[in-house]
Amino acid sequence: MKFNSLREQVSNRSQVYSVQMLRGIACLAVYFVHFFSDQKLLPVSKFLVKASEYGYLGVQVFFVISGFIIPLSMYRNKYDIQNFGSLFKRRIIRIELPYVASIVLFVLLKFIGYIAYGTQKTFDIDWSTVLLNIGYLNVFWGKEFINHVYWTLFVELQFYIYIGLFFGAIINKRFWVRHVAYLVIFGLNYWWVGSLLFHSHILIFMVGIFAFQYAVKIIELPEMLIGSVIVLFGNYYWTSNILHLDNSTPIALASIFALGFIFLVKQRWSILDFLGKISFSLYLIHVPVTLVLLPILEPYLHRPYYILIYKLGILICTIGISYIYYENIEKPAMSLSRKV
């Protein structure tokens, strides 16, 4: 059975390539919603414009991936609550160093854009907001994220804290222990209100957690499927009736797609594997890089077909720059984090 092949990969400590490829898909989706949901592209590509409007679902896919791969990594490394400090240090090095470097790059590219295209007499940047973005302190000071993709890193940081504290209960084979832990997590987050906070996304992370539990034989297939259905229905109710959002169904479908991709896709596609490898770097820097590249020619292009070709060319350039960022920033941070 195809579902069992995932268990074989996990038991053999093999890399789960479907997860890496899924990262590439999710990152491309986020990129497309930022730069291809543009009415200027109509009518040359109505499908592309319409599809890109759902690119935000790439974030939900990332949450499912985190729910699966982070506890899996902890399980393989025999994590214990006493190792919480080391887990957090590795997170700081692995994630926060590239994140802070991307903030520096954001300021640099904004300055380059000001020199090249700016019409203002002063370099317009709020330095207090920039500094508060380091450590996500801007959230508590009521300041915005200078790059709007950063909010997801704040949510992921909270997930690291929760999974570090509750990991022992999550891998416990006793049914009631696991489910009491779930109720505690849900209860704590119910009181902690805010769209940037973990409680608004916990049910999507849970889909990945159920997949992890099945992969390491803590639960069996019926419990994984029933649990996933319950949390997706719960998320549907939460988003539609509590948050009053109209994207409940797309979020559920994106979560199901992510779960199915992790379990069922076994063929390795080189391009998706490559995009998955650099996905974090691409995710961090695609907005400032693209915003610097777009004004070079876009103001002079008036035909939708030419604009589409130009944007695809910028996408390729951004991927190339992201690879350089990966090799020189993210990859060294990964190596350093393994030494902690």
Q: What is the pLDDT of residues 124-133, one digit of tens each?
A: 788 899 999 9
Average pLDDT rounded to a whole number, residues 314-332: 97
HEC string of 232-291? HHHHHHHHHHHCCCCCHHHHHHHHHHHHHHHHHCCCCCHHHHHHHHCHHHHHHHHHHHHH
Q: Name the nearest CA neighbour of 55 among 276, 283, 340.
A: 283
State the average pLDDT for the chain: 87
Q: What is the pLDDT of residue 269?
A: 92
pLDDT at position 188, please?
63
* pLDDT over threshold 70, residue 196: no
Structure confidence by residue, pLDDT tens digits, 43-98: 767 777 777 889 999 999 999 999 999 999 999 989 999 989 998 899 999 999 99
Contact 139/154 with Cβ under 8 angstroms?
yes
Q: Is the dihedral of CA 127, 96, 64, 61 positive or negative?
A: positive
Q: CB of 81 within 8 A of CB of 35?
A: no
Rounded Cα distance, 26 and 275, in Å: 10
Q: Please, are residues 78 and 222 in contact by the beta-carbon 8 Å criterion?
A: no
Section 191-207 average pLDDT: 72
Q: Quick one: what percent of the chain has pLDDT higher than 70?
A: 92
Report how far residue 261's alpha carbon sits from residue 19's, in angstroms, rounded to the nearest whole number: 8
Take residue 266 and report the two structure tokens written for it: 């076994």
Structure tokens at 149: 């993709």
DSSP character at residue 330: I
Output phi, psi for 144, to 5 deg: -85, 165
- Residue of 84, 96, 227 lying closest to 167 (CA atoms): 84
Q: Is the dihedral of CA 7, 8, 13, 17 positive or negative?
A: negative
pLDDT at 125: 84
pLDDT of residue 314: 95
**What would the pLDDT profile of 245-256 be if each residue is shown by its tens digit?**
778 889 999 999
Answer yes or no: are the C-beta atoms of 325 and 100 closer than 8 Å.
no
Task: Return the number of other C-beta atoms located less than 10 Å from residue 171's C-beta.
Answer: 17
At 47 the pLDDT is 75
In the chain, the percentage of residues whose pLDDT exceeds 90 is 56
Domain residue spans in the chain?
A: 2-338
Q: pTM of this prediction?
A: 0.92
Q: State mean pLDDT over 134-162.
A: 91
- Cα separation values, 128 from 38, 132, 150, 285, Å: 32, 6, 16, 21
pLDDT: is 267 or 316 the higher one? 316
Q: Which residue type is seen at 264? A: L
Long-range contacts of 8-17 (CB under 8 A, 24+ apart): 10/72, 10/215, 10/216, 13/76, 16/69, 16/72, 16/262, 17/268, 17/273
Amino acid in position 244? H
- Give CA angle at 244 (243, 246), nearest 5°: 120
Q: Output the CA torsion sign for 157, 160, 166, 172.
A: positive
pLDDT for residue 212: 96
Give the Cα separation of 170 and 151 in Å (integer): 26
pLDDT tens column, 280-295: 999 999 999 999 999 8
Q: How confident is the model at residue 243 (pLDDT cuts 50, 70, 90)?
A: low
pLDDT band at 199 (very low <50, low <70, confident <90, very high): low
Among 97, 22, 130, 33, which Cα is nearest to 284's? 97
Residue type, 331: K
Of the candidates 293, 292, 214, 197, the residue with the CA atom closest to the CA atom of residue 16: 214
Q: Choose the weakest-confidence range: 44-48, 160-164, 221-225, 305-309.
A: 44-48
Do residues 59 and 22 make contact, with C-beta atoms less than 8 angstroms apart?
no
Contact of 208 with 63, CB cutoff 8 Å: yes
Q: What is the pLDDT of residue 190?
A: 59
